[in-house]
Chains A and B, each alone.
Chain A
Amino acid sequence: MIRPSLPENWEELIAGYTLDDLDPEEAEIVERLLNENPDLRGEVKQLQEVLDLLPYGLPQQEPPAHLRAAILDAVQEGDRPARPHRRARRRIWLEMGGAVAAFLAIALGLDNYRLRQDLESADAVIQALRQPETEVYALEGTGETTAASGRLVVNPNQDQILVTVQNLPEPSAGQAYRLWGLTPGSTEPIYYGQFGTTAQGETLAQLSIPRDAIPTEEIQLLITLESSTAPPIPEGPLVMQSSL
């Protein structure tokens, strides 16, 4: 392809961008090239597609036969699949009205006796769910904490968000879980706040955050385990993230 306005090594730079191996100087050049030539994003996309074909080149590996049975058994025994369209589902909740909000709090995982005693927090959930603008995001465990699950309840018109989590081990003394948001294309995470969990691995935390930093669907949410007194820079292991 002839692109007279681009530096001679533009293809290499775009390949390096896709591979995430640019040094800071090159990264600056690529950011500028992408801004000036938006069609270059198509080149990035193609290279990413090529990379994602690499697994097809691996030798054929059949998983053991018992795995198929285990997976199919697990779903036959259990519940219905998750329905698509998170927004539509939320609207149904809202139509059900505030009287059902207490039930919803339980559905969100607040069925722990101690947490139910925490009326203030439960009220906050009910209030949040009554707002038509409320969004609910799913969080899932990663790595060693795969069993963890949770929800983030966000009302874009308030400066508070609610985090509910289950099966996330209680942090040891001096440690806390921290919630971060990462906007697409950024490597600078936004720090939302920290919380602990109970010995049962649960929490209902209310975090105050600046209104201009409210999570949206585009933001990847991440939870890490950190020292509770460390400056707000993520250094510890990733324990949960928003569902892809």
Chain B
Amino acid sequence: MHPDSPKPEPFASDQTDTDLFLALKAGRVEALSDLYDRYSNLVYGLALRVLSNSEEAEDVTQEIFLALWHKDNYNPTRGSLSSFLVTMTRSRSIDRLRSRNTKLKFLQRWKRISTAEEISANPLEQVSINERSQLIREALARLPDSERQVLEIAYFEGLSQSEIAQRLGIPLGTVKTRTRQGLLKLKQHLRDFIQ
């Protein structure tokens, strides 16, 4: 947690995400505000990382939480709510990023759009959000900088490997090796938490 932002531990409430989501669907605004308190930092932080623009990150955050209320777009049997929010936020933010540059090849997006439909489980569902953050930061810190860098660019900016190679001025093969190795090592570092 950032030292300047003392915030009550979001998991102080013993209601699960599914409890809150069902209460939200029953029309209870408090459930939306609880979910917002639980996940707005994650959603806003991710949108801000992708878009590097606080106004746009606010817009995305608003869209995501209003969509949760207004739209029938999340099904608790298909994956965890936290992963759903991450998937939606990332795909909407990257969509916005790309719409700034319409020259990008359309077909490259097809696969990503279709994979964005898949909502993963969250293997860290049982630990609090602050603990999740700490675990991921520790696992990321153990990666070589060169691998962490390409993995983060690929995930947060949605760039293709050749775009990353171009930006960093390194060969395409090196980018691929580093990203793949980085992902495999990250999984290895988190193995105790993944079934």
Contacts and interface: CB of A to CB of B under 8 A. Distances in A.
Nearest to B68: A81
Nearest to A81: B69
A241 interface: yes
B99 A143 contact: yes
A233 B71 CA distance: 30
Given A54-B136, A82-B72, A62 B116 contact: no
A146 B40 contact: no
A63 B40 contact: yes
Given A67-B61, A238-B113, A56 B73 contact: no
A55 B42 contact: yes
A15 B36 contact: no
B33 A58 contact: no
A222 interface: yes
B72 A146 contact: no
Most chain A beta-carbon contacts within 10 A, residue among B54, B72, B86, B140: B72
Contacts, number: 216
A83 B44 contact: no
B82 to A, nearest CB: 9
Interface string B161-193: 100000000000000110111011011001000
Given A49-B122, A56-B42, A56-B129, A19 B86 contact: no
A21 B106 CA distance: 16
Interface stretch (A68-76, A168-176, A194-202): A68-76
Contact of A184 (B48, B106, B114): B114
Interface string A2-32: 0000000001100110111100000000000
Interface of A: 11-12, 15-16, 18-21, 45-64, 67-68, 70-72, 74-76, 79-86, 138, 140, 142-144, 146, 182, 184-187, 189, 220, 222, 224, 234-238, 241, 243-244
19 contacts: A15-B181, A15-B184, A20-B112, A21-B161, A45-B121, A48-B120, A49-B83, A51-B155, A52-B86, A56-B129, A61-B44, A61-B48, A62-B5, A67-B58, A67-B61, A76-B29, A86-B72, A182-B114, A222-B113
**Nearest 3 pairs of A and B residues by beta carbon:** A143-B99, A61-B45, A63-B44
